């Protein structure tokens, strides 16, 4: 329970998806997220604000927990956040967010008792607009229109930080179920049409580089060591290129303590990676640490890999408990690996789903010869065996996930 409480504090809560969203959530609408002080929120009654071509949700958290919530950040075209203009630390943090990971959205600062000098200071930074608190319907409407005009420019991804790639986490319910195999092979499939970066976060048993037949000189340990000096040039230097075009940050070659990674560093690394790649794939160690929880907060999709055994189902349920308690349930896709087909070539996942009280989204065939050869040679499994059942199933999985992410990415005005 201690773990649940701790993670919950990290998460922050969004109004339940679509519950307080009005004006529709169609792709053309400006998607506004509001982080307001309690009394302001009560006064504004976010649920009732109706603006044309605009959907509004409120988020009950901090700038930090908003920034850590990958899908929410991705579904936000305009952030309205209430700040105290005299709180210089909070202001600096907001400016930093607006200039960095928040640069593809319009960041609007809302504040009580705004002086002209405070307004000037705010507008000189990357903050798009300033709203007085309390604001009127008209004032908010004007801010939305200003944001709408700037959005196309912000989100075209002209290489100046406008890109915001997706993040997929592969997390095993227990060891040896095929998490790394699936992460590596899925990344290869996505790399056919996207710029993909794999980061092997399995600090002690990392096998991503091995499974892609790469021998990197530099690893995640070097990134962690660089700490503040981490930048895109260094990231690209550490990332080893696979012949497919896929980039891979390998796990440390020496056994590293799981706590050498921190949530703060991982957040910076993920923000940087997402600004420079279309898709970031994380191969996770399967344990819960502060930083693994942060990775899940940042992720669009959490692939929970397991097998159809008593332990596999039971451990998956335990993982789901923690994920659901942290509001991550919607992102989870259960992947049952090493399945054996029954009569008529079908898999029976019904019982597992009922024990899990959760759908089994994808099932992958047990095919050791194909998998083992693909991992030995570090090539896509279709090169080992054309039309292998597992390759077809992997493709169904990767394209379903890509579609889910694409629809969540829908850009306002596009
Ligand atoms: N669908 C599958 N069919 C046959 N063997 C598999 C399959 N998936 C994984 N394996 C094998 O299982 C072993 C463990 O896989 P790995 O991806 O390293 O597991 P994990 O990362 O969960 O510890 C590997 O030797 C791999 O060849
Ligand atoms: Mg592994």
Q: How large is the average pLDDT for residues 332-352?
A: 95
DSSP 249-311: EPPPSS---GGGS-HHHHHHHHHHHHHH-SEEEEE--SS--HHHHHHHHH-SEEEEEEESSHH
pLDDT value of residue 340: 96
Ligand nearest to the CA of 181: 1
What pLDDT sits at residue 397?
A: 98
Count of residues in the chain? 414
DSSP lists the bridge partners of residue 13 as: 60
Q: What domains sit in the chain, N to C, each tagged with a CATH number?
A: 17-155 (3.40.50.2300), 166-408 (3.40.50.300)
Q: Which residues of 380-399 are buried (b: 16+ CB within 10 A; e: fewer)?
A: bbbebbeebbbbebbeebbe
Query: What is the reported pLDDT for 149?
Result: 85
Q: Are 407 and 31 in contact (CB under 8 A)?
A: no
The residue among 103, 121, 100, 119 whose CA lies nearest residue 111 is: 119
Banded model confidence at residue 410, pLDDT cuts 50, 70, 90: low
Ligand nearest to the CA of 393: 1
- What is the number of the ligand 1 atom nearest to the C-alpha of 172? 22
198: CA distance to ligand 2 center in Å? 13
The pLDDT score that the predictor gives to residue 159 is 44
How high is the pLDDT of residue 122?
Answer: 85
How far, in Å, CA of 155 to CA of 162, rounded?
A: 5
> Please, what is the angle between helix 368-377 and helix 389-409, to 10°?
70
Residue 10 has pLDDT above 60, yes or no: no
Residue showing tokens 């007085």: 132
- How large a percentage of the chain has pLDDT more than 90? 73
Residues 301-315, mean pLDDT to the nearest whole number? 97
Q: Is the pLDDT of residue 106 over 70?
A: yes
Sheet with 332-339, side-by-side order of all strands: 240-241, 247-249, 196-200, 279-283, 166-172, 301-307, 332-339, 362-365
Q: Whose CA is closest to atom 27 on ligand 1? A: 372
Mutate to test the pocket of ligand 1, among 169, 175, 176, 178 (most ligand atoms within 8 A of CB): 178
Collect residues with CB below 5 Å from ion ligand 2.
179-180
Per-residue pLDDT tens for 164-214?
899 999 999 999 999 999 999 999 999 999 999 999 999 999 999 999 999
pTM for this structure? Answer: 0.87
In this predicted structure, what is the pLDDT of residue 183?
Answer: 98
Poorest-pLDDT segment among 138-152, 186-200, 281-295, 336-350: 138-152
Please, which residues have CB within 8 angstroms of residue 137's CB and are 6 or more apart in sequence? 49, 51
Pick the more confident residue, 343 or 142.
Answer: 142
Residue nearest to ligand 1 atom 6, measured at CA: 368
Q: Can you count the helices (H) and strands (E) in the chain?
A: 18, 14
Q: 326 is written with which tokens?
A: 């942290």
Q: Determine the atom of ligand 1 nearest the C-alpha atom of 181.
A: 17
Nearest residue by C-alpha to atom 17 in ligand 1:
178
Protein residue whose Cα sits closest to atom 16 of ligand 1: 178
Gap from CA of 219 to ligand 2 centroid (Å): 16
Q: Among 371, 377, 379, 385, which is best to mutate for testing ligand 1, by the most ligand atoms less than 8 A from CB?
A: 371
**pLDDT at 86 (0 to 100):** 86
57, 160, 175 from 253: Cα distances, Å: 44, 33, 19
Residues contacting 84, CB < 8 A, separation 6+: 90, 111
Q: Across-strand partners of 339?
A: 365
Q: What is the pLDDT of residue 4?
A: 55
Ligand 1 contact via 311 beta carbon (within 6 Å): no
Q: Assign 139 a pLDDT band (cuts: 50, 70, 90).
A: very high
Atom of ligand 1 nearest to the CA of 364: 1
Q: How far is the CA of 12 from the centre of ligand 2 (A)?
A: 30
For residue 172 and ligand 1, the question of a CB distance below 6 A is answered with: yes
Instruction: Quickly list H helices, 69-178.
Output: 70-74, 88-99, 116-124, 137-155
pLDDT band for 131, please (50, 70, 90 cuts): very high
Least confident of 153-157, 360-364, 384-388: 153-157
What per-residue confidence (pLDDT) applies to 411?
A: 57
Rounded Cα gap, residues 25 and 28, in angstroms: 8
């Amino acid at each position: 329970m201690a773990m649940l409480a701790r993670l919950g504090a990290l998460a922050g809560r969004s109004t339940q998806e679509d519950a307080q969203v009005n004006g529709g959530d169609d792709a053309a609408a400006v998607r506004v997220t509001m982080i307001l002080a309690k009394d302001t929120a009560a006064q504004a009654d976010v649920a009732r604000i109706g603006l044309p071509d605009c959907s509004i949700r409120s988020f009950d958290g901090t700038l930090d927990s908003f920034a850590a919530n990958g899908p929410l950040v991705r579904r936000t075209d305009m952030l309205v956040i209430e700040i105290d203009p005299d709180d210089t630390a909070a202001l600096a943090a907001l400016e930093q967010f607006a200039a960095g990971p928040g640069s593809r959205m319009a960041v609007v600062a809302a504040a009580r008792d705004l002086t002209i000098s405070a307004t000037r200071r705010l507008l000189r930074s990357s903050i798009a607009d300033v709203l007085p608190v309390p604001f009127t319907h008209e004032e908010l409407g004007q801010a939305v229109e200003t944001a709408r005009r700037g959005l196309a420019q912000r989100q075209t991804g002209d290489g100046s930080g406008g890109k915001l790639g997706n993040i997929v986490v592969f997390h095993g319910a227990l060891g040896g179920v095929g998490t790394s195999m699936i992460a590596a092979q899925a990344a290869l499939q996505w790399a056919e049409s996207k710029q993909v970066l794999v980061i092997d976060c399995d600090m002690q048993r990392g096998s991503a580089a091995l499974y892609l037949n790469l021998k990197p000189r530099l690893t995640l340990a070097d990134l962690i060591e660089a700490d503040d000096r981490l930048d895109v040039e260094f990231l690209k230097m550490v990332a080893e290129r696979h012949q497919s075009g896929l980039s891979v940050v390998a796990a440390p070659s020496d056994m590293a303590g799981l706590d050498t990674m921190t949530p703060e560093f991982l957040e910076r690394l993920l923000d940087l990676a997402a600004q420079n790649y279309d898709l970031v794939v994380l191969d996770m160690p399967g344990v819960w640490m502060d930083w693994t929880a942060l990775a899940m907060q940042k992720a669009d999709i959490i692939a929970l890999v397991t097998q159809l055994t008593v332990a596999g189902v039971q451990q998956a349920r335990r993982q789901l408990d923690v994920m659901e308690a942290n509001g991550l349930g919607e992102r989870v896709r259960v992947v049952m690996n090493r399945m054996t087909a029954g009569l008529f070539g079908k898999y029976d996942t019904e019982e597992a789903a009922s024990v899990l009280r959760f759908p089994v989204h994808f099932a992958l065939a047990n095919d050791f010869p194909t998998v083992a050869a693909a991992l030995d040679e570090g090539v896509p499994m279709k090169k080992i065996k054309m039309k292998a059942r597992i390759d077809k199933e992997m493709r169904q999985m990767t394209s379903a996930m890509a579609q889910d992410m694409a629809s969540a990415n829908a850009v306002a005005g596009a």
